Amino acid sequence: MSAQTISDQVVSNQNVLNDNPLTVSFRLLLGLYAIIPLCLLLQLFDSWFWQGFLQQNLPSSPKQFLLFQIIFGTPHIVASSILLVSNTEYLKFYKMKIILMTVAITTVFGVGSLFIPYKVLYVTVAAWTVYHVLKQQLGVGRGLYRLPDWVFYLLLWLSVTAGLFVYVGIFLKNSLDAQQLEWIKLSAGVLCAGLVCSALLCERYVTTQSARYFLWSNVLLVLSTFYLFVQQYYFLAILLPRLVHDATAYIFYVAHDYNKHHRQPQNFMYRYAARCHVPIFIVLPLCSFTLAFALQFYGDNAVNAVTEFFFGVEIRKAITLGLLGYLALMHYYTEAFTWKQGSPYRRFIAFSK
């Protein structure tokens, strides 16, 4: 789910609230940021009492844990795709955009990869990933703090740029020398300082206490990620934004599907779930987690077996890199407009404090 998006209007009119009995609670969304002090306490306890046990034994990236990928990252991307394709009216509505983006992805990352350097493609995807994650979080709160556009985008771009330096510093650290890594830390630190100063200066536009909490929670999300990166707790640094982002997305997905299907199932997935007496709340999470598990664990081997049997050709990572990579890029693209005010999705979303 993305950003600017969900925040265009915070609370819809009374008719929308009546039509959508399940609302998205800003208190619940704010509660997700409790992971920040928990991770910071974990890091402090590890430094003070556990002699750096976690730092030495946690992987340098959550992606090294297949279990992590099955819980975070992949499922919410799969859920976004299921939500889009299982509702044929959405698929028809956005058909042309999906076709054009598919052509663009194939051209840039298929043909383009033959002559565009790997690091350029990697940093491009990293920037898009960080932008997607942080724009969602800042955008969700935008309806609360109602910042002028220039203020919102100032905070957004400072956050994204700092986040990109952290991302590159973590995932490309093995290909960087000591001086380059120090330069990345310095740049990210300066941007984080600029983010704090900008937030302090722009706080006068925030009129409510709940909005102030949400604004500073997003600032702290960036600052704590930078701090954990500098302290070399790379797993925790990536876990923070990943957990907040994915959980926020699922809250919107589940609220949407409940409001759309609770009276009368509108697609095959929910009609079948109703016959099996499966609660609406768990249908999309259950389907997306199951599919993510199957694709991550068995997808590549299944494709390899088929291509070797019929064509005598081995295709490596056709699913984990090819299909899931395509779905991730398409997710970043479609979530930028599918949740905007006036979109078909938003008919089934209402907000509450």
Tens-place pLDDT, residues 41-94? 999 999 998 888 888 888 766 556 666 777 777 899 999 999 999 999 999 999
Secondary structure (DSSP) of 146-183: ---HHHHHHHHHHHHHHHHHHHHHHHTGGGS-HHHHHH
- DSSP classification of residue 10: S
What's residue 237's pLDDT? 92
CB burial of 247-278 (b: ≥16 within 10 Å; e: otherwise) equals: bbbbbbbbbbbbbbbbeebebebbeebbeeee
**Taking the model in full, what pTM does it have?**
0.88
The boundaries of the domain holding residue 251 are 3-352
Nearest to 203 by CA among 163, 138, 146, 162: 146
Q: How many domains does the chain have?
A: 1
20 CB contacts (<8 Å, ≥6 apart)? 12, 255, 259, 348, 349, 350
Q: Are 40 and 227 in contact (CB under 8 A)?
A: yes
Of the chain, the end-to-end C-alpha distance in Å amounts to 20
* 351-352 and 24-25 strand pairing: parallel
Q: Which amino acid is at 223?
A: L
pLDDT less than 70: residues of the chain: 1-20, 60-67
What's residue 19's pLDDT? 64
Neighbours of 14 (CB within 10 A): 9
Q: Which two tokens stand for residue 43?
A: 């890091």
Q: pLDDT tens-digit profile of 291-339?
A: 999 988 888 888 888 887 777 777 777 788 888 889 999 999 999 889 8
What's residue 84's pLDDT? 93
